A and B are shown apart, each in its own frame.
Chain A
């Protein structure tokens, strides 16, 4: 039964993924891609990786999909300069792609027989941190430097997106398209969903220490709520020059860095936690990160600042 489910899921993944590649209409391709992301998060559940599944559903499918829907809507009219490729070129590309796929698939049969696993060493040292979720342990204890840099990458991405604003728009409001009808389904959702989403996000962040979840997934839910509120026009998007907004953006990385440097004082190494204080410090970090991630994701999706009169 489970094998049958897996086979259907794998075929669906290939079918839906292939559909989003060959779809004629860009908007169709993007929406199929979102569906693909949700199917993929099911595959992650089947691979016993619930944390990855949540991240894939939230970021890989939801946030990336939303970005692409916005982009696909704006470029929908682009047909003037579509390059016409010859049939032979298509065939050549297909052969090349098939060779790549076959090559990688063949690797499955030459993988070393005895799987290498770090599960046991992780579990052996995990209790010292006070965390119960091994993936959170890897993210915030064993490989916290990676996680720190990941937050910096988000900051850099936001800087990059903002840098693409026109000079005269700088400091303005992100150019998100608004639908401010008060008596619409969107308006109703934007007023009723956020409290639920807010509680859910706090729960996800808090529970992430012991069960799947965490700052990133919680932050994404918060960001989704914020986008909803902004798009429905319930609250205006903030100006990118707002000091409060800047503070919210850097809080997470700054708290992370401060706790990292604190490690020099007591155990004597960067990002090392003083004995017995690991869990409270990690939870403090996660709370700060949730806020920053929510604001950064929301702003990344909202796009660069745009003047009122901009096209």
Chain B
């Protein structure tokens, strides 16, 4: 089995796992973590595509690789904002939750 196919399968498995986590984990931080995992799975697919494009003596196509580097940085920026929002919500409401129930209800 070629590493290309293997890592493609791993990437799609990771996307599946994180979609599951994104749906069932109720806490926003867990959702954020699953979202990061989802992103890394998609990046891995990109890496496989880059590896398939290995030619001219390079081990991989540098263009998708550069795109993934930019993607990792942008994902980090989004995570930083999300964490700051979550912590602000936590300090305002005493708990970070995306549950729609209003305070005061049992």
Chain A residues close to B by CB (< 8 Å): 2-3, 6-7, 10, 13-14, 17-18, 20-22, 26, 29-30, 33, 36-37, 40, 43-44, 46-49, 51-52, 55-56, 59-60, 63-64, 67-68, 70-72, 74-75, 77-78, 80-83, 85, 89-90, 93-94, 96-98, 100-105, 107-108, 111, 115-120, 122-123, 134-135, 137-139, 142-143, 146-147, 150, 153-154, 156-158, 160-161, 164, 216, 300-301, 303-304, 311
Do A59 and B80 touch (CB < 8 A)?
A: no
Q: Which residues of A contact B32 (CB under 8 A)?
A: 68
Knowing A10-B7, A71-B83, A161-B80, the reply to whether A93 touches B24 (Cβ < 8 A) is: yes
19 further contact pairs, Cβ within 8 A, besides A101-B15, A104-B15: A6-B7, A26-B27, A33-B33, A49-B51, A67-B80, A71-B83, A75-B29, A75-B96, A81-B99, A101-B16, A107-B8, A108-B5, A108-B8, A115-B52, A123-B56, A134-B58, A156-B77, A216-B73, A300-B80
Tell me, rounded to whole Å, the shortest Cβ–Cβ distance linking A64 to chain B. Answer: 5
Q: Which residues of B contact A40 (CB under 8 A)?
A: 40, 44
Closest residue of chain B to A146, judged by CB? B70
Mask: chain B, 46-74; 1 = CB below 8 Å from A; 0 = not: 01111111111111111101111110111
| A111→B12 CA distance, assembly (Å) | 14
**Could you give 12 example pairs across A and B, Cβ below 8 Å?**
A17-B41, A52-B72, A55-B68, A77-B95, A78-B97, A83-B99, A97-B19, A108-B9, A119-B54, A120-B56, A146-B70, A300-B77
Do B65 and A52 touch (CB < 8 A)?
A: yes
Mask: chain B, 25-47; 1 = CB below 8 Å from A; 0 = not: 11101101110110011011101
Contact of A117 among B14, B27, B61 (CB under 8 A): B61
Knowing A49-B47, A161-B81, the reply to whether A147 touches B70 (Cβ < 8 A) is: yes
7 closest Cβ contacts across the A-B interface?
Answer: A101-B16, A48-B59, A117-B53, A21-B21, A97-B20, A157-B77, A104-B12
Closest residue of chain B to A43, judged by CB? B7
Do A304 and B84 touch (CB < 8 A)?
A: yes
Do B84 and A10 touch (CB < 8 A)?
A: no
Chain B residues close to A by CB (< 8 Å): 1, 3, 5-21, 23-27, 29-30, 32-34, 36-37, 40-41, 43-45, 47-63, 65-70, 72-81, 83-88, 90-91, 95-97, 99, 101
